[in-house]
Each structure stands twice: as C-alpha cells, then as structure tokens.
Structure 1
Amino acid sequence: MVSQPSRRTVRGAIVATAAVVAAALPTAPATAQPTAADALKKYNELNEQASRINQDQLKAQDDLKAKQGELDKAKTDLAAAKQAEETLRGQVDLLTEASFGGARFNQLSALLVSNSQQDFLNRMTAINILATDNAEALKKLTDAVEAADTATRTANEATEASKKLLAEIDQKKVALAKQIEEVRAQYNQLNTAARNAISSRGDMSSILVPPGTAGKALEFALAQRGEPYVYGSNGPDSWDCSSLIQKAYAYAGVSIGRTSYAQAAAGRPVSRSEVKAGDILVYYSSQSHVAMAIDGTRAVHASTEGQPVKIADINSIGPVTGIRRIEG
C-alpha cells in the first residue's frame, strides 16, 4: 500500500514551487515617490502656465477693445460719409436740373443772346462758375462715396475680427479654469511647511522708497502686501501680477499697458546690474509674469493663486528675461 504524503510535505512543495516561479518572473522597478521639492517644482510650473494663459486672455480682451474702438470709429465715419453723400448728391442733382433747364450756356449761345459786351462777360462768368461748382460737387460726391465704401469695409473687417476674438477669449477662459484646477490640486499635495511658506505674507516691515514717479509707484505696490492674488483681477482688494504693476504706475500718474506683454515693452530696457527701485522685472521666456524692484535684490509682486502680494528675492521668483525702467 502506497503511503500518502503528509500535509506538511505538500505545503512545503507548494511554497518551494511559488518561490521558483516568483524568481523566474521579471521584477517590477520600484516607483520613486515624489519629494516635497518635486511637488513644489510642479506647483510652480503649473502656476507659470496658468499665468501665461491668464495674460493671453487679458491680451485678447485688450485686442477686442481695440477692435471695438475701430468698429465704433468706422460706424461714425460711415454715418458721416453717408450724410455727406446725400447732401452732395442733392447739390449735384440741383446743378444737373439747372443745366437741363437752360441755366448752362455755351459761349456761342451766350454771345447770341447777350445785349452788350458787359452782358456777354456776365453770362460767361456765370457759365464758368456753374461749371466749376458742378465739377467740385461731382468730385466731392465721388470722394464721399469712396469714403463710405472704405468705412463699410473697415466696419465689416472689425466686426469679423471682434467675433474671432470673442471666440478666442471664451477658449482662454476654459483653458484657464482647467489650469487653475490643476494648480489647486497640486497645492493640496504640498506638505504643510510648503503651504505655510506660500501663504505667508512675508516681510511686512516699513520700507523707505525714493522720491519721484518710481518711488510713488513702489509705495503703492508695497501697500498691497498681504492682498490675495486672483487671476484677471484689477484690484482694489485683489490683484494679478500685471494689474498690480499697472495700478501702481497709474497711482504715480503714468499710464502703462494692462498685460505683462505690454509692460515688457514699456519704458526703456536696463541691465540686471542697473536695477533700482520701481523697475519692472519681466520673468520667463513667455514674459508671463512681472514684479517691481525694491532695490537690486528684492522685488514686490502678486505671485499666483494661494499667495498674497509679497516681497521676494528677485532671482527666486523665476528667470528674469527683461527689465524695464519707466522713469529716467
């Protein structure tokens, strides 16, 4: 009679077999867990992308305003041209009726019906005046018709451009909303220390500003420390990066563009070694972020969602790609 293997023996065989199979299978590489530094880097990258989309949307809005201004002017020009056309057409009609009614004479008829030499000269003068008036009226009418045609074309082009910009703005709004969701999700993945550093108001101490326009603009920007960042906000209780800079210089009596793109071309360029209070610091190759220099090492800026307006080291904000001086 053949003996049956014990349960212990069977279990041992199963374990051994499993070990052999496991050894034969490829080993899956261990997935590295993202570090706090990686999460913060990703957060900053998403913020930069959101800022760029925000500035693109603002630029499209500015372009739309300009096109609407062109459209309004074209409509005004068209109305004026149409009115001029109607007036001049009436004048030409009157001159034409006068011509067919016998008011126009040629030199021979003027001579035949004249009673004297003076009468002939008078009739000839009238003929020349009538002919000149008619020619001028026809020229003005032609110009008015051409002006009306040009205004019509301009109005139509501005209308079509406005429609395209409106569609572009709608697309940018959707893209920005999606990007903001990603920023918020990444923010929630940051550790407590990182979130506390981001939400901190930073240096709130009194800072002496220089006299003049730049100093006055810097005074305004520093006064907004602690105010929240909101994409597309124009103040007075929340800001995005470029609205803070625009309103600061408006406070100092200087008008500059609304977007970081416009501000990247404002004033005159200066080098990194020349930076002084009030200079506009432009960041990233996309020119999607701006800050205002306090001195050669510090700047005040509206950074991004979750961060209040605060002071930061110039180089810590991001790669500086341009510096513009509004005053001096």
Structure 2
Amino acid sequence: MLSHPSRRTVRGALLATAVVVVSSLPGGQASAQPPANASDALKKYEELSHEAEKLNEQHLKAQEDLKAKQGELDKANGDLNTAKQDEDAFRGHVDLLTEASFEGARFNQLSALLVSDSQQDFLNRMSALGVLAADNSEAMGKLSAAVNKADEASGKAKEATDAAQKLLGEIDEKKKALDTQVNDARTQYNQLSAADRAKLGAGGDMSKILVPPGTAGKALEFALAQRGDAYVYGANGPDQWDCSSLMQKAYAAAGVSIPRTSGAQAGVGRSVSRAEVKAGDLIIYYSSQSHVAMAVDNVRAVHASTEGKPVLIADINSIGPISVIRRIE
C-alpha cells in the first residue's frame, strides 16, 4: 500500500487533475441535428461507439499501469525502510567502536607494549587491536553501503511516486474523455429509429452450440452462456460486459488467467493465421487493438459488441479489420 505521505501526494495529484478535458477524437461532440436518414444515423452511432470503446480500453490500461506503479512504489518504500534500518544498525555498531576507542578499550602498539606483562600478553593485546581495527573497518564499509542503498531506495521511491501521480492524472483525463464520448454515443443512439434500435438489439443465434473439449471449449462455453447480456463500458459481469472483460472471465472459468484489456490480450498465447482459426481463439480487431471476440468456429465469433447490442454471435469478418489472432493453450 502507499505510505501516508505518498497517499496524500497521490490524492493531491487527483485533485490537481480535476480540470475539464475536451476530447479531440472524431465524434467528440454529438451532432445537434439528426442525420439525414436512418442508415447515416446507425453509421454515426457505430463510429461514436467505436471511439468510446477505444477510450474505454485506454482507460482500463491506465488503471492496470497504475496498479503496476503502485506495486513498484510499495517495493521502493519497503526497500527504503530496510535500507534505513540497516543504516541505523551499522551506524550504531560504528558508534560503539568509536566510543570504545575514547574510553581506552583500544590501544596503539606503544601503549600495548608498555602495559603488557609478558611477550605473550603483548601478542594477545596486538591481536585484539587487529580484530578491533578490522571490525571498525568492516562496520564503516557496511555503514557506507547502507547509506548509499538508502539514498538509492529514496530516489526510486520518489520516481515511483511521481509515476503514480502522472498515471492518476492520465486516468482522470481518460475517464472524462470516455464519459464525453459515451454520452455522445448515447445521444446518437436516442436519435435512431425504432427499426435501427431493433437491428442493434437483435440477439443473434441463441441456439445450443457444441464446444470442443479442453480449455478453449470451457472458455467458449462460458462466453456463449452470456449471450443476451448487456454491453456496458468498463463492466466486469456477471450480467454486463465489455469486450475484454468477457474474454478474461471466460478463460478464468477455464482456469486460465489472461490480462484485462484487449491490447494486452493481443500478446497472450501464440499467433495463428485467419485460416487456422478454431473455437476459443481470441480475435483482436482494429489497428488500435481496441476490440476482441472469441471464435466459435472458423466462421463465427461471440463478443460483447457495443452499447445497445447484447453479447451475440457474429461473422468473424464482419466485426472489423482483424489485427491479430491468438490461441490460448
């Protein structure tokens, strides 16, 4: 967890980012006038929804990045505390040796000779002097290393705190931009005709589909069971999903952990070609890798599409331009 000072600093960063963010993405402002016809209205809605989905994935990625940075901050603070404890311990050791010197517990060679009762006594005293000198040298070396380590840990803790602050600001900005884009899409949705809304809301194929055995089949079975559930930006189930949360929970049901965002999911498993696609493969769409679906077979895929549409089955090639296809094994 963040230390108390770091928490205050991070909270301050959140307040500092409370400014109005205007999205510069296409469709950043909803059209004041309805489109000329229903076809244009539906196209405009789908464009706005796609931009909102991209922002949603960016927002989720920023949240994941923040978790990673907070982990780095926790480690840096832990290292700093350990380094300071080591520094205090070694400093105490050096102080004890120094105090012993002032109290006469250590002697130079001449004083050792003068106070010795015999040659053996002198040798014993000289040996003790060597041990004390070595101890002092070792303690000083450890103290110096501990101080350097504490300074390094302090620098890393500051870097981690600064990075966490920056990400909090980015998350705040992306959330504002996402909210604007979603509102624009909803405004456009409200302008659709009843026929277009019915077209969007059609649930598609709800028939029973046989799945293959194994991990991919279990994941597909879960995804298919969510058909008809609503799409909601940033939702994680159990009855509302966005595209990547459905994929993550589907594979979790099969005992496999995959990342939360579609961009990160584009890097799991191994790549396969379009011709090789089979049930359970993840199909990531668009150059931004902002949408993901799961193959039902080589032709169809199940996915959480966009607001206004339920989780449904669609033709793989109709969803959008394919970026990459990944197989989880």
The bucket for the TM-score relative to the shorter chain is 0.7 to 0.9
Q: How does 1:1-328 map to 2 (within 5 A)?
A: 34-327=36-329
Aligned-partner Cα distance in 1 for 2:177–2:302: 28
**So what's the TM-score if we normalise by structure 2?**
0.85
Aligned-partner Cα distance in 2 for 1:142–1:253: 49
Aligned-partner Cα distance in 2 for 1:311–1:121: 91
**Identity rate of aligned residues, in percent?**
70
Aligned-partner Cα distance in 2 for 1:227–1:104: 81
**Aligned-residue offset at 1:108:** 4.1
**Aligned-residue offset at 1:79:** 1.5
Matching residue's letter, 1:34: A
Deviation string, structure 1 residues 88-113 (Cα, Å, up to 9, x no partner): 11111001111222223334443443
| Residue aligned with 2:210, SS | coil
Aligned-partner Cα distance in 2 for 1:326–1:132: 59
Aligned-partner Cα distance in 2 for 1:111–1:213: 82
**Aligned-residue offset at 1:231:** 0.5
Matching residue's letter, 1:297: V
Q: Which residue does the alignment assign to 1:19?
A: none
| Residue aligned with 1:190, SS | coil
| Residue aligned with 2:256, SS | coil
| Residue aligned with 1:115, SS | coil
Matching residue's letter, 2:297: D
Deviation string, structure 1 residues 44-68 (Cα, Å, up to 9, x no partner): 2111100110011111111111111
| Residue aligned with 1:185, SS | helix
Deviation string, structure 1 residues 263-317 (Cα, Å, up to 9, x no partner): 1111111111111111111001111101111111111111111111111111111
Aligned-partner Cα distance in 2 for 1:95–1:287: 64
Deviation string, structure 1 residues 116-157 (Cα, Å, up to 9, x no partner): 333233223222221221122112111221222122112222
Q: Which residue does the alignment assign to 1:30?
A: none
Aligned-partner Cα distance in 2 for 1:289–1:255: 19
Aligned-partner Cα distance in 1 for 2:120–2:219: 79
Q: Which residue does the alignment assign to 1:23?
A: none
Deviation string, structure 1 residues 182-240 (Cα, Å, up to 9, x no partner): 21122223332321121122111111111111111111111111111111111112111
| Residue aligned with 2:313, SS | strand
Aligned-partner Cα distance in 1 for 2:57–2:122: 76
Greater Cα offset, 184-193 or 128-137: 184-193
Matching residue's letter, 1:190: L
Aligned-partner Cα distance in 1 for 2:100–2:36: 93
The alignment covers a number of residue pairs equal to 295
Q: Which runs of 5+ in 1 are unaligned?
A: 1-32
CA root-mean-square deviation: 1.6
Aligned-partner Cα distance in 1 for 2:135–2:274: 67
Q: Which residue does the alignment assign to 1:26?
A: none
Greater Cα offset, 155-164 or 102-111: 102-111
Q: Which runs of 5+ in 2 are unaligned?
A: 1-34
Matching residue's letter, 1:134: N
**So what's the TM-score if we normalise by structure 1?**
0.85
Deviation string, structure 1 residues 21-47 (Cα, Å, up to 9, x no partner): xxxxxxxxxxxx734333222222111
| Residue aligned with 2:241, SS | coil
Matching residue's letter, 1:209: V
Greater Cα offset, 59-68 or 106-115: 106-115
